[in-house]
Structure 1
């Protein structure tokens, strides 16, 4: 016994079967959401024609990839536990509010370094 599988492409817009499997998948974004739609050649061309005036007036958006490539650099100096203890004690003695744990705010670090 033989098994035969067929893939039938259907236009998402009008539900018509796409002859020869010549479906075109178009990906687009609108209002922060990305969509895909499978269309035959005629509906794909109509889609492009319909949005062309808007594309012509629009500008490309920053998709965040550039920002992701630029990572913040850490300073070359790191602070040990004993140093952070000293900094926290100094900060409290000098009127700063600082938590017992976690990151010490940059302005407190700068003030400590300037004073010491």
Structure 2
């Protein structure tokens, strides 16, 4: 039996399903918030005048973490799925990206 891990993003403001994780910084604190499209647009509009007047800071600090654009998959589920289809994938190393893409394309 395959195990499937599902991650649901929930809007941190109103509890509805979220589509975006937004990262921003205020003073020396970095924040991350999950928002639906409407609330992300509200935040963007609210910050726009401040961003337009501000200086963009490049380098010198730590780079922000990459924001994941796709829901992560359970590597065990991908391996089980791949083996059931006769694909030879490593047992311990990272699952090849083309196998993960096929797994997702199959509706998993």
TM-score computed with the length of structure 1 as normaliser: 0.45
Considering only CA atoms, is the larger Rg found in Structure 1 or Structure 2? 1
TM-score computed with the length of structure 2 as normaliser: 0.48
Structure with the higher helix share, 1 or 2: 1
The one of the two structures with greater contact order (alpha-carbon pairs below 8 A, sep at least 6) is: 2
